[in-house]
């Protein structure tokens, strides 16, 4: 099958760019020093590629992601980096022979792990992003509680998510260091081998974690693409068809806000000014000097945020540079 034969809108993955991204990251963070975050792509076949680059542990955001990875035979070391109360499905995964570790930031979550049958935890520490995580000063006591009720505490995690898209590398480094000081202080009270955190935006600057939780690096989006010291290539686009062109100067592609995660803004059309998205359309005008497209033309658009974009599609199509579709991978970890 050729790119031109795909029904649009369609997620298109440039295999060569993907492989270069995976190689760049694994050169810098080999093996267990990277724990790829599966939430960015929700695709077990892509996780399999990450594993082939030497990373056997994965980071997950939902129970469904954990269950699906285990079912795909990728359950060697799964970290649910999120707080969950009903862990019965996770307990079944552990019973099935996979290794599951969950984030814990309060006593109810710790007790949910025990009653759900999950035996290994990381203490999730709030390092500055107002979201989950115990205050650093409370991490030791929570670890003690976990151990007292039979949990194995493997270490700590703390995500400096509010820093990922800071434009200035020096500022990002300085603030990351402050966050990681909090995490290391908590780790001193908690113990364990694991200090987990970081992401694509701090892939080189976060030198304190034992494992980096990056996900976006594999596929990328326009938000991360705007950061000068993040060298990963745009490997994922949404293939669209032009379905209407106005004599007044705008064109309409057949992919809209149901084909793109919109929380970081509109997708990008190369050489054009995007006016807005509606459910199934993106309306744009070409920049000065560029000819407008014609009805039937195909345009590859770049999502502003890759994670929710993948979550909207059933499949991603793997293409080589000549436009051959090599495989179509199910985005099989969607939902909850």
Interacting residues toward its own copies by CB under 8 A: 7-10, 39, 61-63, 82-86, 105-106, 108-109, 126, 130-133, 135, 161, 241, 243-248, 250, 252, 254, 257-258, 261-263, 275, 277-281, 283, 295-296, 305, 307-308, 311-314, 334-336
Distance of closest approach, residue 136 Cβ to its own copies, in angstroms? 13
Cα 34 to chain centroid distance, Å, stands at 13
Shorter beta-carbon distance to its own copies: residue 26 or 222: 222
Shorter beta-carbon distance to its own copies: residue 22 or 61: 61
Shorter beta-carbon distance to its own copies: residue 26 or 196: 196
Pairwise CA distance, residues 308 & 265, whole Å = 12
**Helix or strand holding residue 266 (H, E):** none
Distance of closest approach, residue 198 Cβ to its own copies, in angstroms? 16
CB-CB neighbours of 167 under 10 Å: 10
Instruction: Provide the β-strand partners of residue 40.
Output: none
Shorter beta-carbon distance to its own copies: residue 63 or 319: 63
Distance of closest approach, residue 16 Cβ to its own copies, in angstroms? 26
Distance of closest approach, residue 251 Cβ to its own copies, in angstroms? 10
The burial class, CB within 10 Å (0-12 / 13-18 / 19+), for 314 is exposed
Shorter beta-carbon distance to its own copies: residue 132 or 183: 132
Distance of closest approach, residue 126 Cβ to its own copies, in angstroms? 7
Shorter beta-carbon distance to its own copies: residue 228 or 247: 247
Pairwise CA distance, residues 79 & 194, whole Å = 11
The burial class, CB within 10 Å (0-12 / 13-18 / 19+), for 98 is buried
Distance of closest approach, residue 123 Cβ to its own copies, in angstroms? 13
Q: Which of 161, 64, 155, 163 is nearest to 104 (CA)?
A: 155
CB distance 3 to 24 below 8 Å: no
């Amino acid at each position: 099958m050729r790119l031109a034969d795909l029904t649009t809108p369609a997620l298109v993955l440039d295999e060569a760019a993907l492989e270069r991204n995976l190689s760049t990251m694994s050169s810098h963070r080999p093996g267990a020093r990277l724990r790829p975050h599966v939430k960015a792509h929700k695709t077990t076949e892509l996780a399999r590629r990450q594993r082939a680059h030497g990373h056997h542990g994965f980071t997950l955001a939902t129970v469904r992601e954990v269950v699906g990875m285990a079912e795909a035979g990728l359950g060697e070391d799964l970290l649910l980096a999120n707080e969950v109360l009903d862990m019965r499905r996770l307990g079944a995964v552990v019973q099935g022979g996979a290794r599951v570790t969950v984030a814990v930031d309060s006593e109810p979550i710790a007790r949910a792990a025990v009653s759900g049958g999950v035996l290994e935890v990381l203490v999730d520490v709030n390092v500055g992003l107002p979201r989950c995580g115990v205050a650093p000063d409370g991490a030791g006591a929570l670890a003690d509680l976990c151990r007292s009720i039979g949990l194995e505490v493997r270490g700590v995690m703390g995500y400096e998510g509010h820093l990922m898209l800071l434009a200035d590398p020096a500022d990002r480094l300085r603030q990351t260091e402050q966050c990681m000081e909090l995490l290391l202080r908590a780790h001193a009270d908690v113990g364990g081998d694991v200090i987990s955190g970081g992401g694509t935006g701090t892939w080189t600057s976060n030198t304190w974690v034992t494992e980096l939780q990056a996900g976006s690096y594999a596929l990328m989006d326009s938000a991360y693409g705007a950061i000068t010291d993040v060298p990963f290539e745009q490997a994922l686009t949404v293939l669209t068809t032009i379905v209407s062109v106005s004599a007044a100067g705008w064109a309409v592609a057949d992919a809209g806000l149901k084909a793109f995660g919109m929380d970081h803004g509109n997708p990008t059309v190369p050489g054009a000014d995007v006016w807005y998205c509606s459910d199934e359309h993106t309306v744009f005008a070409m920049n000065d000097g560029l000819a407008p497209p014609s009805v039937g033309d195909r345009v590859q658009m770049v999502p502003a945020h890759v994670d929710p974009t993948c979550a909207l599609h059933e499949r991603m199509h793997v293409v080589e540079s000549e436009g051959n579709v090599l495989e179509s991978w199910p985005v099989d970890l969607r939902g909850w």
